[in-house]
Structure 1
Amino acid sequence: MVQHNGLALVLASSSPRRQELIGLLQLPVIVRASHADESVPEDWEPAKIVEELSLRKARATEESLAADGMGVDPASESWVVVGSDTIVVVDGKVLGKPVDEEDAFRMLSSLQGRRHEVYTGVACLPGGGLKDNPPAVSHTVSQVTFSPMTEEEIWSYIRTGEPMDKAGAYGVQGMGALFIEKIAGDFFSVMGLPVNRLYQMLGKWGISPF
């Protein structure tokens, strides 16, 4: 495991966007995809969904690392597993990743010309020298306003392939940015990882790039 003064950050995600964002902390990170079950009860509120799934992802990754052998000495070294989850909410309805192009079209049609909310959760699961600390879990809420889109624009965007693996069927850091009029909140949370919130959470355990 990569270490920095006895510390290792483990990102419980294979998302290139989250890998890019956690890199802003300038701390050594290893990436370990989480294969956690992401199903949740239909009556859960958005904040609970993203917080629970973030923690669930972190725990699933910690379990897989423990099974493989983490390669650290718990007596002298510490690690934090970081999990995150993002959902789009419009009219109180949660939009996850589209299952097919028709689903992506339905999602984008419901977003065009109006404002929606993006909830992003983040969970930090401490281990080793930090294991006496309880997990830290939080979330952010941002508002994103889309400009009106024609059906031709929506289908053309879908055909790029970008919407198919993203909550709400768009990527704020890609061509989806062409349709965004305004963001109120944390841009990085809309991308998939609330970097400022994560920095504050880690700071409570004395973890900082400075």
Structure 2
Amino acid sequence: MKPLILASQSPRRKQLLEQAGLSFTVIPSDVEEKLTKKNLPEDLVASLAYQKALNVFERYPGHLVLGSDTVVSLDSHILGKPTDDDDARRMLQMLSGGWHTVLTGVTLLSAEKEVTFVEKTEVNFFSLSEEDISMYIKSGEPVDKAGAYGIQGLGAMLVEKINGDYFAIVGLPIAKVVRALKTFNDHV
């Protein structure tokens, strides 16, 4: 059985893999995430997931590597992680009272096989007041989150409903990941 490596330092992805009972090592990739307006959101997250997996796989070729990336998309406009509180405020104002899409790309890479897929989940926010947004920003939670919110934390209070995989919004569509791992016969 090839050892599994998570090519991410995301505590949320780590927790989801642990929740699924998987044995793995965390070795973050050092790929710099560059969001460009030229990329379609689906293509971007698939490409970043692959780049992250490949970056670690090149250092550990005898392993099975899991790379992943998540972005928020509003009308095909990609919202990455906010650069500061003002950027977080801008993003939350854009998302307020409407639907957006969270896309999580996943790549599983071994010497024998490669699987890449993108999971899309639609999210609807309540209409947010300036006070709601300011309180959320003061919590510090938006800092390292795509779209300036985390549904698994206080950001849950912003969300009216979702259509799709909750865990993909958190950062890893764990049920699909486990099923994909099973196709690597030597692993799960």
The TM-score, its normalising length taken from structure 1, stands at 0.85
The answer for the alignment partner of 2:144 in structure 1 is 165
Q: 1:92 Cα deviation (Å)?
A: 1.7
State whether residues 35 and 78 of structure 2, in contact with CA within 8 Å, keep that contact through their aligned partners in structure 1: no
Of 59, 67, 71, the match for 2:54: 59
The answer for the alignment partner of 1:150 in structure 2 is 129
State whether residues 37 and 77 of structure 2, in contact with CA within 8 Å, keep that contact through their aligned partners in structure 1: no
The 2-side partners of 1:146 and 1:41 are apart by 25
The answer for the alignment partner of 1:112 in structure 2 is 96
Q: Secondary structure at the match of 1:145?
A: strand
The root-mean-square deviation of aligned C-alpha atoms, in Å, is 1.3
Q: 1:60 Cα deviation (Å)?
A: 1.3
Q: 1:150 to 1:40 in 2, by over 3 A?
A: closer
Work out which of the two has the higher radius of gyration on C-alpha atoms and give 1 or 2.
1
The answer for the alignment partner of 1:50 in structure 2 is 45
Deviation sequence 1:86-105 (CA, Å, 0-9, x none): 00011221000000000000
Paired letter, 2:20: L
The answer for the alignment partner of 2:10 in structure 1 is 15
The 1-side partners of 2:136 and 2:29 are apart by 28
Of 98, 103, 125, the match for 2:109: 125
The 1-side partners of 2:20 and 2:158 are apart by 29
The 2-side partners of 1:65 and 1:7 are apart by 11
Greater than 4 Å deviation, 4+ residue runs: none
Unaligned runs of 5+ in 1: 1-5, 67-73
Q: 1:24 Cα deviation (Å)?
A: 2.7
Unaligned runs of 5+ in 2: none
The 2-side partners of 1:112 and 1:64 are apart by 42
The 1-side partners of 2:107 and 2:76 are apart by 24
Q: Secondary structure at the match of 2:44?
A: helix
Of 94, 102, 107, the match for 2:78: 94
Deviation sequence 1:171-191 (CA, Å, 0-9, x none): 000000011110100000000
The TM-score, its normalising length taken from structure 2, stands at 0.94
Q: 1:156 to 1:40 in 2, by over 3 A?
A: closer
The answer for the alignment partner of 1:3 in structure 2 is none
State whether residues 57 and 64 of structure 2, in contact with CA within 8 Å, keep that contact through their aligned partners in structure 1: no
The answer for the alignment partner of 2:29 in structure 1 is 34
Deviation sequence 1:157-207 (CA, Å, 0-9, x none): 001110010000000000000111101000000000111221121111223
Q: 1:65 Cα deviation (Å)?
A: 4.1
